[in-house]
Structure 1
Amino acid sequence: MNICWICGKEATTREHRVKASDLRKIFGVVTQQSPLFTKRDGRVRTLQSVKSDFAKFSAKICHHCNTTATQKYDEAWSEFTNYLLDNQTVIRSCKTLNAGNIFSGDFKKGLLYCHLYLLKVFGCKILDDKVPFDLSSFSDCILSERAHPDLYFSVDKKIQPKNKNYAATSPMQVVQHGEPERVVYAAWYYIIGKIPIKILYYINTPPVHVHGHMIHPRSGKKFLRLA
């Protein structure tokens, strides 16, 4: 039996590598006649629907955690990425984003829920990539609606995808340290269109040159600096 890493119950569903609503926003309706193509582990696969298993992580979570328990996190992420995709040409020349213009409700809640959505995706990616990592702190934050102290994200303009009809997640970079060894740094990109979003796990507070443009709910800032 597959066990949900978030709550420990039986796991029967999979989380998308790139959110289904983001795929639809970029590519429209995906069908057998108008498929997508994905490359992973050196193999090209055809997606005839955004619900294809090839669009998802192999790690499983339970239906409740993937829907009811995290629905508002998913919705906040959709608001965030819809705004980015609708304004991607302008964002390339911006220095900040006004979070108050992004979310329909309280921007602080919106940023927290985006953060918690990324915890869910990050946990699934950690399992898929077989990174030696204790996910209990991730699951505790997801279930209790609390920000994780060591997870950050940012819109990183230093990376410049050429094609707006593009969506992907990058390989994860991991640094381990200590005795016994544990993960002290992990980073990867969630790329939609021409917008690269960096997701960073960094124990303690990152150095200023890293932390200055990273988004964390505890900052409470409405204006978000872009890298």
Structure 2
Amino acid sequence: MNEPVRGAQAGILKFKPSLCGYCNNARTQPHDKAWQRLSEYLRDHEPPLKGGRRIPFERVFTGPVAQSMLDVHLYFTKLLGCYAFEYGVPLPIWEFGLCIKNGIAHPHMRLIFVPITSNSTRYQIQVGHINAAQVGNRAVSASWFYIVGNIGVAVSYCEPGRARLTRDPGWHPDDVGTLVRLAKVS
């Protein structure tokens, strides 16, 4: 279930302290800015985006495309880690923190970009609850959905050899090329 968010200061977007102030501000600021740039491009796109469409990242970012998309990946690494911490989902968030600290992509996390047909405003944000599959006391697969305006991002975490909770395999910074395909909504 998605929950509407009534603005940047909404309680659902605030987390218990799980990151140090430096990490949440200075260290991850490039990640926040990269997502802001990509989400604005996707929300402002004319004609409206449709599933199956390929988005060339070099049209979005003026600087190094690979670094900008790594920053987008790390933005969602941070958010998934914060939500997992907040709601007690036993993901290995220490791995998420190491990826952010070292500026490297999380090897088990992929992003699925989804066009959303909605009557919401271009700035309205909705977030879903984390769904997770556990083995013992740890989550081995998880998915979480984030929507802003007409674009959704399904964040998919899956350890090797485990079943992914999303149908679409999604995008990872290690994928070859500078395109992302928008998922088709069935």
> Aligning the two structures, in what range does the TM-score lie when normalised by the shorter sequence?
0.7 to 0.9
Contact persistence 2:58–2:178 (CA under 8 A): yes
> What does the per-residue CA deviation read over 1:119-169, in whole Å, with 9 as the maximum and x for residues that have no partner?
111111001221122311111000000111001102124xx4421313211
- Kindly state the Cα deviation for residue 89 of structure 1 after the two structures are TM-superposed: 4.6
Who is 1:122 aligned against? 80
State yes or no: 1:192 paired with 2:153: no
Question: Which runs of 5 or more residues in structure 1 are unaligned?
Answer: 1-37, 41-46
State yes or no: 1:86 paired with 2:44: yes
Q: Which runs of 4+ in 1 moved over 4 A?
A: none
The 3 A distance-change label for structure 1 pair 152 and 135 is same
The alignment of Structure 1 onto Structure 2 pairs a total of residues equal to 176
State yes or no: 1:104 paired with 2:104: no
The 3 A distance-change label for structure 1 pair 184 and 113 is same
1: CA distance, partners of 2:91 / 2:113: 25
Who is 1:54 aligned against? 11
TM-score (norm. length: structure 1): 0.69
Who is 2:177 aligned against? 221
Contact persistence 2:132–2:139 (CA under 8 A): yes
TM-score (norm. length: structure 2): 0.84
Which residue, out of 102, 105, 109, partners 1:151? 109
Q: What SS does structure 2 have at the residue aligned with 1:79?
A: helix
Q: Percent identity?
A: 25
2: CA distance, partners of 1:117 / 1:64: 15
- Kindly state the Cα deviation for residue 181 of structure 1 after the two structures are TM-superposed: 3.9
The 3 A distance-change label for structure 1 pair 125 and 145 is same
2: CA distance, partners of 1:175 / 1:198: 16
Q: What SS does structure 1 have at the residue aligned with 2:100?
A: helix
Contact persistence 1:174–1:185 (CA under 8 A): yes
Which of the two has higher C-alpha Rg? 1
Who is 2:127 aligned against? 169
Alignment of 1:31-70 (within 5 A): 50=8, 52=9, 54=11, 56-60=13-17, 61-70=19-28
Q: Which has the higher contact order (CA 8 A, sep 6+)?
A: 2
- Kindly state the Cα deviation for residue 81 of structure 1 after the two structures are TM-superposed: 0.6
